[in-house]
Structure 1
Amino acid sequence: MEIKNIFVVGAGQMGNGIAQVSAQSGWNTVLYDINMDLVNKGLAVIEGNLKRNVSKGRMTEDEKEAIMKRLTPSVNLEDAAQADLVIEAIIENFDIKKKVFQQLDQITPDHAILATNTSSLPITQIAAVTKRPEKVIGMHFMNPVPVMKLVEIIRGLATSDEVYQIIEEASIKMGKTPVWCKDVPGFVSNRVLQVMINEALWELYEGVAPPENIDNIMKLGMNHPMGPLALADLIGLDTVLSILNVLYTGYGDPKYRPSPLLKQYVQAGWLGRKTGRGIYNYRS
């Protein structure tokens, strides 16, 4: 099957990044969200990214315009009727994803592949709500999508070899390095990463050190480009909590128990960069 049209569900931080690399790779790309304000905000982020690339000499103005022309805004899920590949990038909540995948299963053509950018939820469970489980796959991009090279590909129990091969090739065309793993809670990336972030949050909660010190120790001592607390703010503390809850429920292991401080920050609405306040204050 040849991919010609890609439909991205969710115009937020991950979705607009996925739409950008899709359009940059030459595909006609529809960017969908529940209202036009969200879609326009996502398109504005993409255009801003492309303008920076032009200013740095990484692409021409004509190339930027051509990419933007391949992007189509949508607030109607029915627009997925022409999609060859759907990539879902919405909130990390199974019930919400379930509803979307059931709708997409009805709307999209029979040949369409339904991919999810979930960072922790079981692909097999998502696939089971559709009538095409063999065409459902995990396509987990890293944040920020236009910059990070990895796509973690996760096969569900029923995912076909053909679908895996198509997604692997599509990832390479997007300029990414695809790496597969089994369908387990958190996959590889978040099963490792979230333990580190959570431990840093526990240290902050216990007063072991201030956030700057925790992050600097990991940056300067372990050669990490970003400290775990700053990274948590970038990911979104609500997303971090959702992933940890999936891990804690999925494995029943206390090492995944979310820090009380993380829960408190989420309750306060301090979700990180996207709200201007998280572990760090971004408003000043």
Structure 2
Amino acid sequence: MGSVMKSIGIIGAGQMGCGIAHVSALAGYKVQMYDLSKDRIEAALATINGNLARQVGGGKLADEERASALGRITGSADINDLAAMDIVIEAATEEEAVKRKIYAQVCPVLKPEAILATNTSSLSITRLASATDRPERFMGIHFMNPVPVMKLVELVRGIATDEATFRTAKDYVTTLEKTATVAEDFPAFIVNRILLPMINEAIYTLYEGVGSVEAIDTAMKLGANHPMGPLQLADFIGLDTCLSIMQVLHDGLADSKYRPCPLLVKYVEAGWLGRKSGRGFYDYRGETPVPTR
């Protein structure tokens, strides 16, 4: 077994950071969130409270559990508050330069035995580890979005990650009642390497006029039993995120089959990024989503 973890630090109070804090606190861990501003921390705590309350409403959680989970989460805009944490998970923007800058700031603060992990969905773990002072205690712990709902976590070792770090991370994921899958450190790991080219192919199908938005999504929902059509899913993920993962695959594996569809590029250039911006393959500005082509 790995060493026992009691406290979890989270860098980045966005959607993923909130989800990781939520499930960690429910599992009994003390959680310390860090972000650049107090406002973002407050917004995150409100989001987590809302998501926990929804679980109470749905009968999945007792109100006492919600209250005690919330009581285990604190947040601040001071990186020094991560000093006592057993494991710190970075869930910042999917940009290598941003992550490297964070590691340079956080590594001197961490206790020597602390594990530093990243929630990256596509960047090289080995390369990110090289920007830290503890490559043997660094690895990828990739949660799926939305974290409270999705059962899978991808565990990714860098070339230097030691066995104890891996076991500790695996134990942590198990206590969250999630299933860990082990992926090798290749671009986009397992889920996104298979899922994103499928989405990209659906966009090519639209681009080439093989089917309309509605036809493609209906076909995959009813013909392949997917809970959500690929274009609807792309809008949910964010078309900018879809494009960046396709670019990571294309650059990292140098195979033309990963070429991002020109239509995906066009939507991103238009600022039509999906649900979060009000328009993507569907227009979300009315009562019900309407296909945009």
TM-score computed with the length of structure 1 as normaliser: 0.96
**Equivalent position amino acid for 2:14 in 1:** G
Inter-partner Cα distance in structure 1 for 2:272 and 2:32 = 31
Give the match for residue 276 of structure 1. Answer: 278
Inter-partner Cα distance in structure 1 for 2:15 and 2:258 = 25
Counterpart pick for 2:233 among 200, 210, 231: 231
Give the match for residue 44 of structure 2. Answer: 42
**Equivalent position amino acid for 1:197 in 2:** I
Name the SS for the 2:83 alignment partner.
Answer: helix
Counterpart mapping for 1:203-214 below 5 A: 203-214=205-216
Q: 1:143 to 1:280 in 2, by over 3 A?
A: same
**Equivalent position amino acid for 2:35 in 1:** D
Inter-partner Cα distance in structure 2 for 1:54 and 1:228 = 31
Give the match for residue 95 of structure 2. Answer: 93
Name the SS for the 2:283 alignment partner.
Answer: coil
Q: 1:78 to 1:195 in 2, by over 3 A?
A: same
Matched, 1:172 2:174: yes
Name the SS for the 2:273 alignment partner.
Answer: coil
Inter-partner Cα distance in structure 2 for 1:38 and 1:205 = 38
TM-score computed with the length of structure 2 as normaliser: 0.93
Give the match for residue 56 of structure 1. Answer: 58
**Equivalent position amino acid for 2:156 in 1:** I
Matched, 1:241 2:240: no
Give the match for residue 261 of structure 1. Answer: 263
Give the match for residue 133 of structure 1. Answer: 135
**Equivalent position amino acid for 1:130 in 2:** T
- Following superposition, the deviation at residue 33 of structure 1 comes to 1.9
**Equivalent position amino acid for 2:257 in 1:** K
Greater CA deviation, 128-137 or 268-277? 268-277
Give the match for residue 291 of structure 2. Answer: none
**Equivalent position amino acid for 1:283 in 2:** R
Matched, 1:252 2:254: yes
Inter-partner Cα distance in structure 2 for 1:218 and 1:79 = 47
* Superimposed CA distance per residue, residues 37-57 of structure 1 (whole angstroms, 9 cap, x where no aligned partner): 322222222111111111222
Matched, 1:143 2:151: no
Inter-partner Cα distance in structure 2 for 1:260 and 1:89 = 29
Greater CA deviation, 174-183 or 53-62? 53-62
Task: Tell me how large the CA RMSD over aligned residues is.
Answer: 1.2
**Equivalent position amino acid for 1:89 in 2:** A
Inter-partner Cα distance in structure 1 for 2:6 and 2:238 = 32
Give the match for residue 113 of structure 1. Answer: 115
Inter-partner Cα distance in structure 2 for 1:240 and 1:43 = 27
Inter-partner Cα distance in structure 1 for 2:178 and 2:172 = 9
Q: How many residues align?
A: 284
Name the SS for the 1:82 alignment partner.
Answer: coil
